[in-house]
Structure 1
């Protein structure tokens, strides 16, 4: 399958001139993700070398690393015939430079001389890769001349076998292919306005309104988008904005946001005028929530650090939003490293947690109160199998979602009136499962 060269997520100019040092920093970031199991954002936050790059070089380093992560299995399948031993057996830093070089040539369209020359420069300057300079030079010379090795690999090769099998068996091969295709696309920036007319804000930012009230713009550094410091908006995937919208919180109602950090849904609920309690067990994540609330000017949120399965409020709430911990496989288009660093064992623990949280939420909400359950995962085990009639019996009844409530997402409605936001033509977004329930009378 031949793919067009990947569009960059930032306007970087001619980055063929970005030299060996930027490649080395990118290789260090890639190693932190793939060899140490860190998230890319966390790796960049921890890297002094990355911070010291110029703005454009930081953008290019991130682009190179994210491109490897988007295409990892396919890149490795293309590289392996060019190396005499298993790629996984190589020195990790050598492996990172080769993967980055292949991504530049096969996906980003970086000029051949820059792919080879800058990668060799990086290898010469790095003690751990200096002994492998000849290998890196030889392999990358073949990479730039043998693009068919990448193009011959099937799209499904991007994912590890366990992930392809899990998603294709649960949702079908078509849905799995749609998710992989979405993963290969650099995401545009999607925002939720704090208040006012989303059409006017979209025009001001040069974007478009998507969904009910989200805004999509070209990706640039968040701090450079007009209105960032003023708190006019926050970054939030258009599908991630649906659960709070569907909860239907009203002014003066008491509303609980369970597993609230980093706060996008909390801010949506606060904007409705409701009296919001935001609960999360992670103090570092709550710190980020507080920072987001401060920037956007929401000061009257009750923040609780607690385990939601054990915590109980003094008085029950009118509405509860439960964005349960999950595999997050629906966010691979924005966090493609998840496909590489997660395992089947990692994700198998979530259904038990989700079931316990739903049971706990039943004790926190008034009879007749509304709960929205959601996960950023399309897996049936974390969605529809958590809200089966057997599990709901005696505690909950479904409050079906109707097409008029989800403009742009009408085709994502299930026969039960839930939402499953798999990628669709014309609008790329995360994969979410959302169900709306009403608490039965005690």
Structure 2
């Protein structure tokens, strides 16, 4: 049977997608880690397809299951292989516009015996009945409860995958690059392109004129302003977007991260862009600086639920215990970072999380002088909260493609009188 399967066009991508979904939903792995494990060796096009199938299945999982349950006499177990394959088959037809015959040819090859006949019957019944998905993905109940009033708008923003954002090394060339790349700019130093663009083939990539960074991820770095040669510590720096941003703004950057492997990518981007930073592989909970810094940017480890547009696995992997674990780590890192700040220095704390325990609750416990964010520091129409903090979510800027969810707050250490 294995020899027969290799002859089915498109089967390797579906096999990889199935294994990726199993890794996410049964073992709690991230989609990125699962892709690296199970899509390696695929052609670039097959790898993209595997990721698209897995991503759309996770994005619409609740609604795909509702369709499947409407066409079966007995409810299939949530981790049953026929259910997983049917999810993939329906996601391809309803979200990726794959012809039904191609879906059947590849999907049924993932099953044998009775489950194969069951999957064929359910899929055929739903396609004959012209089953559809709702306009907006249904969020898991615990996720909707955590996100409260914003759950509906955020869910609506998940219906379409995000565009591609580029951060420019030279803000003075914003208009030029927007025209050259045929994109739009939402702020100085930013260009937005349609999803699916081959990054490495774009003008400016080889010469390091820009790097990929969601516009929301650029906001914490923007809150530090121009460096003018002053020293800044970029904590949890990998994969390096904020390090590049700070170096381009004239800061003397120390980029620290616990993962030496992830720092390799940061170094590659420094080389490509011609920017400079001191790179340190160390654990922020044990490392000690030689002297205080003029500014510190702590983009803390978090559940990353704010990146749910690109990483829909977080909708199904992250639970209350994960949020509590991350909140404890964030509190410890914030306390250490506050002690490394020079008098008169500025600390910015940020997370790409939509969870208040990782954002607002952390900011309320910092024993430094608040330095509220002003409206003029943010791209229109974004505005700070009443407390002077920043809170974004995927529903914001929806008319131009949305943005990731981020929280950021800023403080100063008082200088002695």
Match of 2:88 in 1: 100
- Residues 369 and 439 in structure 1, CA contact (< 8 A), matched pair in contact too: yes
1:274 to 251, 258, 266: 251
Instruction: State how far apart, in whole Å, the 1-side matches of 2:290 and 2:237 are.
Output: 19
SS in 2 for 1:278: strand
- Residues 174 and 188 in structure 2, CA contact (< 8 A), matched pair in contact too: no
Match of 2:399 in 1: 426
Q: What TM-score does the superposition give when structure 1 sets the normalisation length?
A: 0.85
Match of 2:4 in 1: none
Given the alignment of the two structures, is residue 70 of structure 1 paired with residue 59 of structure 2, yes or no? yes
Instruction: State how far apart, in whole Å, the 2-side matches of 1:431 and 1:332 are.
Output: 8
Given the alignment of the two structures, is residue 40 of structure 1 paired with residue 22 of structure 2, yes or no? no
Instruction: State how far apart, in whole Å, the 1-side matches of 2:50 and 2:14 are.
Output: 7
The 5 A counterparts of 1:72-87 are: 72-87=61-76
Instruction: State how far apart, in whole Å, the 1-side matches of 2:290 and 2:79 are.
Output: 58
2:16 to 16, 20, 25: 25
Change over 3 Å in CA distance of 1:87–1:292 after alignment to 2: farther
Change over 3 Å in CA distance of 1:430–1:290 after alignment to 2: same
SS in 2 for 1:362: helix
Of 210-219 and 330-339, deviating more is: 210-219
Match of 2:309 in 1: 333
Shift of 1:147: 4.0
Match of 1:141 in 2: 124
Shift of 1:378: 2.6
Shift of 1:37: 2.6
Match of 2:411 in 1: 437
- Residues 289 and 340 in structure 2, CA contact (< 8 A), matched pair in contact too: yes
Instruction: State how far apart, in whole Å, the 2-side matches of 1:259 and 1:228 are.
Output: 25
Shift of 1:24: 2.8
Match of 1:306 in 2: 282
Shift of 1:18: 6.0
Shift of 1:385: 1.5
| Structure 1 vs Structure 2 CA RMSD | 2.2
Shift of 1:295: 2.4
Instruction: State how far apart, in whole Å, the 2-side matches of 1:204 and 1:18 are.
Output: 38
Match of 2:200 in 1: 223
Cα offsets for 1:323-347 (capped at 9, x unmatched): 1111211110111111112222111
Given the alignment of the two structures, is residue 354 of structure 1 paired with residue 330 of structure 2, yes or no? yes
Shift of 1:214: 1.3
Match of 2:219 in 1: 242
Instruction: State how far apart, in whole Å, the 2-side matches of 1:155 and 1:334 are.
Output: 16
- Residues 202 and 208 in structure 1, CA contact (< 8 A), matched pair in contact too: yes
SS in 2 for 1:429: coil
Match of 2:141 in 1: 161
Change over 3 Å in CA distance of 1:89–1:362 after alignment to 2: closer
- Residues 169 and 189 in structure 2, CA contact (< 8 A), matched pair in contact too: no
2:155 to 170, 180, 187: 180
Instruction: State how far apart, in whole Å, the 1-side matches of 2:283 and 2:14 are.
Output: 42
Cα offsets for 1:241-279 (capped at 9, x unmatched): 011111114121011001111110001011122111011
SS in 2 for 1:247: coil
Aligned length: 404
Cα offsets for 1:83-108 (capped at 9, x unmatched): 3444335543x333211111122333
Shift of 1:130: 4.8
Q: For structure 2, list consecutive stretches of 5 or more residues without a partner in the other structure.
A: 1-7
Match of 2:165 in 1: 190
SS in 1 for 2:296: strand
Instruction: State how far apart, in whole Å, the 2-side matches of 1:256 and 1:34 are.
Output: 37
Match of 2:388 in 1: 417
Shift of 1:206: 1.2
Of 288-297 and 243-252, deviating more is: 288-297
SS in 2 for 1:185: coil
- Residues 318 and 369 in structure 1, CA contact (< 8 A), matched pair in contact too: yes
- Residues 23 and 97 in structure 1, CA contact (< 8 A), matched pair in contact too: no
Instruction: State how far apart, in whole Å, the 1-side matches of 2:113 and 2:294 are.
Output: 63
Given the alignment of the two structures, is residue 254 of structure 1 paired with residue 244 of structure 2, yes or no? no
SS in 2 for 1:215: strand
SS in 2 for 1:287: helix
- Residues 159 and 340 in structure 1, CA contact (< 8 A), matched pair in contact too: no
Shift of 1:31: 2.4
Cα offsets for 1:11-51 (capped at 9, x unmatched): xxxxxx96444333332332233233332233222235x53
